[in-house]
Amino acid sequence: MASSFTYKVKDKQAKVLSGSLEAESQSAVAQKLRSMGYTIISIAEKTEAPTVEELFQRFQMFQRVK
């Protein structure tokens, strides 16, 4: 099963780029990024954190009722 990974890399001009990829493993992400000519700074598996909308909805339940 593929997971989502976030990454930070440097291109050939030393510009730092970041993004995300779907892959089977962290090593598959690393291989893909290296094949694209990037130097890897970091790779991490995405965690399922609540979105801003989900957090907002949680706080809405505490509103006053008129």
Domain range list for the chain: 3-60
Q: Work out the average pLDDT over 10-18.
A: 96
Contact present, 5 and 21 (Cβ < 8 Å): yes
Q: What is the pTM of this model?
A: 0.68
Q: pLDDT (tens digit, 9 = 90+) per residue, 22-44?
A: 999 999 999 999 999 999 999 99
Buried b (16+ CB within 10 A) or exposed e, 19-42: eebebeeeeebbeebeeeebeeee
Q: Tell me which architecture the domain covering 3-60 has in CATH.
A: Roll (3.10)
Return phi, psi of residue 2, to 5°.
-75, 145
